[in-house]
Amino acid sequence: MEFDLKTIEALAPDQASLSAASKLTKRSNWPRLEKNEQQALIWGECQGSGSNPYRVVVDTGDHGYKCTCPSRKFPCKHTLALMWIAATAPASFAAAESSPEWVNDWLGRRRKTTPPPAQPIAGAAAKSIDEAARTDESAAVEDVAAVERREAAQRKRAEDTRQAVSAALDELDQWIADQLRLGLSGFVDGSSDRCRRIAARLVDMKATALAGRIDEIPSRLMALRGEEKPDAAIRELGKLVLLAKAWRSAPDDPELKRLVSTSETREQVLANPDARQVESFWEVLGEKIESRRDGLVSHSTWLLDLKSATPQFAVLLDYFPASAGRRSNAFAPGDRFDARLVFYPSRRPLRALVAERMGEVMSGAWPDFSFGAAKDPLATHASYQDAAPWITDCPLMLPPGAILVDDRGTGWWQATDDPRGIALPIAGAVNQTLLGLDLAATAALWDGARLDLLAAQSGFGRLDLS
C-alpha cells in the first residue's frame, strides 16, 4: 500500500481539489479507515456535512477509485484525501481480512485495467501539493483590533437574529390564535395554503427550522382518517405553542435554536465537551426517507444500542436537495457496527453523529430488554413528551405482540400478553405475510397517532419492516 505525493498531485483535477483534500486529511474526518494488502485496496468513510459519511475505495495498484459523493470532479477531494493519508500516514489504516460488501460490489462492476502512470494534463493550470498543504499555514495573522471587530459583528448578528426570531414567534402566536378562532375544521381543510403562508413569513424572519416544521403539518394530517385530523391538528399547534414558549425562556439553548432557527455544525457538536458520547455496538433498525415541501429530502437512519440493558436509540439525520436524486446510504437495515456516537445536545438525546467507527459486529438476536411490570409501550412516549413535548417521532421497543388488520384494512400492533389488550394503529399498508406472526420484540416510531414500524425479532430471525 504505497502512494507517492507526486502521483496524487498528477491525478488531481485542479489545485482547488488538492486544497480541499488537504483539509480532509485529519483522522477525525474519517470514522473508518481500512486496508486489504492482498487485494491492494484501501477504503474509508469520510464524514461530510450530513449524518451519513461518504464511502471511498481506492485500488492502490492501478489507482482506480470510487466515492459516493455527488462531486463532478474526478477524482474528488475525498478520494484524494484518502490517497494522501495512505501516502503520509499509512498506519492510520486498520488491516481487514475481507472487504465490506459495498467494496465488493464496486470490484464486481469495474473493469480493471493497467493505465500508464498519471501525467499532468497538457495545458492544465499548475498544481502543487506543497501549496495545498500550506493553505492553512499561510493565513494572515489577525491583529487584536481585527479580532475584536469580527467578534463584535458576530454578537450583533446573533442579537439581530434573536430579535427577528422573537418577532416571528409573536406572529406565530397570532396565527395560531386565528386558526383556533376560525375553527379546526377550516384549518384542516385549508392547512396546505395556510401553513405555506406562515412558513414563508417565518423564513423571512429567520425562524427557518420552525418554518420547515410547519410546512410539513399538512402532510402529517393527510395521512390520518378524517375523524382523527382535528385532534392531530390540536397536537401539532400545541407543540408549536410549547416550543415558542420554551425558546422565549432560553433563546440560546442549543436544542431550541436547532428547532427554531439553525442547527450547529458537525464540528461544533464534536467540539462540545458537554455532548453525550456513547461507544457501543449498534444495529441499523431502518430508515425513513421523506420528501419535504421546501425541496429537501430528509433521510433518517435509526439505530439500536445493542449493549444497553434497556432500549436506547439514536438517529442519524441528513438533508439533501430532491433534485440530487436518491443518495447512497452508508448503512443498510440490519447492519451492525462498533462505533462511538456523539449526540446533539438535547433534553432527550436522539440525533447523533458517527464520530469514530471501529469495525463490524456479528449478527444475532437483540438483547432481552426489560419492559417493566406494566409493559406499557406508551410509557416511553410519555417520558419523552414530559421532557421535550415538541418531539414528533418517539422510538419505542414494543413487547411481544402480533400484527392484525381490522375490517377497514387498517393494520394494528396488538400486545399478546397484556391483560388490557393494548393495541396501536400502524401507518401505511401492512405486509400480509406478517399477519398473526408472533413477534418477540418490535422497534417502531410513534407520533401520537400511528406506529411506523422499523424492525422486529421473530422465530424466523430479524424482520426488516421499514
For residue 140, name the pLDDT band (cuts at 50, 70, 90): very low
- 372 is a domain residue: no
Bridge partner list, 426:
451
Measured between alpha carbons, how far is residue 370 from residues 320, 398, 400 in Å?
38, 11, 12
User: What is the per-residue pLDDT for 378?
Assistant: 86
Range of the domain at 446: 378-464
Bridge partner list, 455:
443, 464
Is residue 222 domain-shared with residue 149, that is, in the same domain?
yes
User: How does the average pLDDT of the chain come out, rounded?
Assistant: 87
Instruction: Quick: pLDDT tens for 86-111.
Output: 999 998 999 988 888 889 989 988 76
- 74 is a domain residue: yes
Is residue 456 domain-shared with residue 384, that is, in the same domain?
yes
How large is the average pLDDT for residues 423-433?
90
Residues 6+ apart with CB under 8 A from 163: none
User: What is the per-residue pLDDT for 86?
Assistant: 92
Which 8-state DSSP code applies to residue 227?
G
Least confident of 1-10, 38-47, 387-396: 1-10
Bridge partner list, 67:
56
How large is the average pLDDT for residues 280-285?
96
Domain boundary at 260, 285, 316, which? 260
Find the CATH number of the domain harbouring 304: 2.40.50
Is residue 300 domain-shared with residue 242, that is, in the same domain?
no
CA separation for the pair 213, 211 (Å, rounded): 5
Helix (H, G, I), strand (E, B) or coil at 258: helix
- 139 is a domain residue: no
Most confident of 45-54, 114-123, 350-359: 350-359
| Confidence check: pLDDT of 51 > 80 | no
For residue 419, name the pLDDT band (cuts at 50, 70, 90): low
What's the one-letter identity of residue 462? R
By the 10 Å C-beta count (0-12 exposed, 13-18 middle, 19+ buried), 30 is classed as: buried
How large is the average pLDDT for residues 60-88?
90
Q: How many domains does the chain have?
A: 4
Is residue 24 domain-shared with residue 126, that is, in the same domain?
yes
For residue 374, name the pLDDT band (cuts at 50, 70, 90): very low
How large is the average pLDDT for residues 319-341?
82
Give me the phi and psi of 348, to 5 degrees please. -130, 85
CB 301 within 8 A of CB 315: yes
Domain boundary at 325, 360, 395, which? 360
- 81 is a domain residue: yes
Is residue 83 domain-shared with residue 54, that is, in the same domain?
yes
User: What is the per-residue pLDDT for 126?
Assistant: 62
Helix (H, G, I), strand (E, B) or coil at 72: coil
Q: Which residues of 432-453 are buried (b: 16+ CB within 10 A; e: fewer)?
A: eebeeeebbbbbbbbbbbbbbb
Between 428 and 143, the more confident residue is: 428
Between 189 and 363, the more confident residue is: 189
Is residue 10 domain-shared with residue 129, that is, in the same domain?
yes
| Confidence check: pLDDT of 217 > 90 | yes
CB 424 within 8 A of CB 410: no
CB 375 within 8 A of CB 418: yes
Instruction: Quick: pLDDT tens for 149-171.
Output: 888 888 888 899 999 999 999 99
- 352 is a domain residue: yes
For residue 122, name the pLDDT band (cuts at 50, 70, 90): very low
Is residue 237 domain-shared with residue 155, that is, in the same domain?
yes
CB 294 within 8 A of CB 213: no
Is residue 17 domain-shared with residue 111, that is, in the same domain?
yes
User: What is the per-residue pLDDT for 141?
Assistant: 45
Is residue 129 domain-shared with residue 9, that is, in the same domain?
yes
CA separation for the pair 120, 355 (Å, rounded): 36
Instruction: Quick: pLDDT tens for 198-207.
Output: 999 999 999 9
- 203 is a domain residue: yes
- 370 is a domain residue: no
Q: Computed over its alpha carbons, how large is the radius of gyration of the chain? A: 25
- 195 is a domain residue: yes
For residue 327, name the pLDDT band (cuts at 50, 70, 90): low
CB 62 within 8 A of CB 114: yes
Is residue 302 domain-shared with residue 414, that is, in the same domain?
no
Between 194 and 133, the more confident residue is: 194
Pick the closest to residue 360 from 337, 333, 344, 387 (CA basis): 337
Domain boundary at 112, 133, 154, which? 133
Is residue 256 domain-shared with residue 276, that is, in the same domain?
no
CB 101 within 8 A of CB 42: no
Instruction: Quick: pLDDT tens for 287-322.
Output: 998 888 888 888 999 999 999 988 999 999 988 888
Alpha carbons within 13 A on the beta-carbon side of 381: 19
Is residue 408 domain-shared with residue 341, that is, in the same domain?
no
| Confidence check: pLDDT of 403 > 90 | yes
Between 233 and 135, the more confident residue is: 233
% of the chain at pLDDT higher than 90: 54
